[in-house]
């Protein structure tokens, strides 16, 4: 296992989930929503760590090289299974469509004592639904999350794709989370799964009340985004940008929002920062841009 570098006086931000190659039409880039979240949080001043697994193969070695390049710290288990990949087809409107390789290294990872120790000192942890697609990965994420402090932002980036519309999995994750991040399509799916009706605000309030959430974050593509808390609502239009690649824009939004809140900014200030950073990522180089 790689050794963690200890740093002081920075928020500790952790991403738990699959680390893989996003195979884009224009080439490949390292991906995985929780890991992208860590990258952007690190660029914004966090002590960021990725918890994941890779295979002992060329893809795994290339990804470790990429992590080193972007100075991301990590707890990576090497397992006797292939490193994951996901084929990303970009539709005409810039929205990515994913085809995911399953039963890879991440799907076989068990929780480690180092991962638990890291979770115990985290100020923010990001995890998703796709990273819980089998029983082992599900138990691993849930075990690690159970050690996170109550004060930490525990962000469930729901990322409903393909066949992961699983109400039991979502409920288990919501009980471990205190922030729900979704887009407008995912909200529609959740309304159907939970039999909900009403406005977006009414649905967000229902989730906050029933799962004791601190926040619900809703992004609606090129139109707007809204951040709901029990006491405050912030809605901002999405900047009109020349879209180079939407991959990673949502992860940048979440990281900027959480980091701004950890730095003591108001909800509105944090939301404005998230919109700005997300627009930059969307109009530049995808999931891991060079911040300029």
Q: What pLDDT, on the 0 to 100 scale, is given for residue 222?
A: 83
Q: What pLDDT, on the 0 to 100 scale, is given for residue 155?
A: 97
- In the numeric block, which tokens belong to residue 105? 């290294």
d(CA 223, CA 225): 7
Instruction: Count CB neighbours of 164 within 10 A.
Output: 18
Non-local CB neighbours of 117 within 8 Å, separated by 6+ positions: none
Q: Which residue has the tokens 């995985």?
A: 32
Q: What is the mean pLDDT of each run of 10 residues along the chain (292 residues)?
A: 50 90 74 84 92 91 84 88 81 69 86 94 93 90 94 90 73 96 91 95 98 96 93 94 71 95 97 93 69 60
Q: What pLDDT, on the 0 to 100 scale, is given for residue 148?
A: 95
d(CA 259, CA 279): 17
- In the numeric block, which tokens belong to residue 82? 């292939």
Q: What pLDDT, on the 0 to 100 scale, is given for residue 289?
A: 62
Query: What does pTM read for this prediction?
Result: 0.88
* DSSP three-state, residue 219: strand
Q: What pLDDT, on the 0 to 100 scale, is given for residue 164?
A: 60
Q: What pLDDT, on the 0 to 100 scale, is given for residue 27?
A: 73
Q: Which residue has the tokens 């819980």?
A: 132
Q: What pLDDT, on the 0 to 100 scale, is given for residue 4?
A: 40
Q: What pLDDT, on the 0 to 100 scale, is given for residue 100?
A: 73
């Amino acid at each position: 296992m790689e050794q963690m570098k200890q740093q002081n006086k920075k928020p500790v931000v952790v991403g738990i989930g699959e680390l893989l190659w996003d195979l884009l039409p224009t080439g490949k880039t390292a991906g995985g929503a929780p890991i992208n979240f860590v990258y952007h949080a690190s660029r914004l001043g966090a002590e960021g760590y990725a918890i994941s697994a890779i295979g002992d193969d060329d893809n795994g070695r290339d990804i470790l090289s990429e992590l080193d390049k972007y100075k991301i710290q990590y707890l990576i288990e090497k397992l006797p299974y292939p490193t994951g990949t996901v084929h990303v087809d970009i539709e005409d409107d810039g929205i990515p469509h994913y085809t995911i390789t399953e039963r890879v290294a991440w799907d076989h990872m068990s929780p480690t004592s180092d991962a638990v120790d890291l979770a115990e000192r985290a100020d923010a942890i990001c995890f998703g639904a796709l990273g819980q697609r089998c029983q082992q990965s599900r138990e691993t994420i849930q075990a690690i999350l159970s050690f996170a402090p109550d004060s930490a932002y525990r962000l469930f980036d729901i990322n409903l794709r393909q066949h992961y519309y699983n109400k039991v999995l979502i409920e288990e994750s919501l009980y471990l989370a205190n922030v729900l991040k979704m887009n407008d399509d995912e909200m529609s799916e959740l309304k159907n799964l939970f039999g909900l009706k009403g406005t977006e605000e009414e649905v967000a309030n229902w989730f906050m009340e029933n799962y004791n959430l601190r926040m619900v974050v809703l992004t609606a593509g090129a139109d707007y985004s809204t951040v709901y808390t029990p006491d405050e609502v912030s809605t901002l239009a999405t900047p009109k940008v020349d879209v180079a690649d939407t991959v990673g824009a949502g992860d940048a939004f979440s990281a900027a929002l959480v980091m701004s809140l950890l730095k003591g900014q108001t909800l509105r200030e944090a939301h404005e920062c998230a919109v700005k950073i997300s627009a930059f990522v969307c109009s530049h180089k995808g999931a891991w841009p060079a911040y300029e």
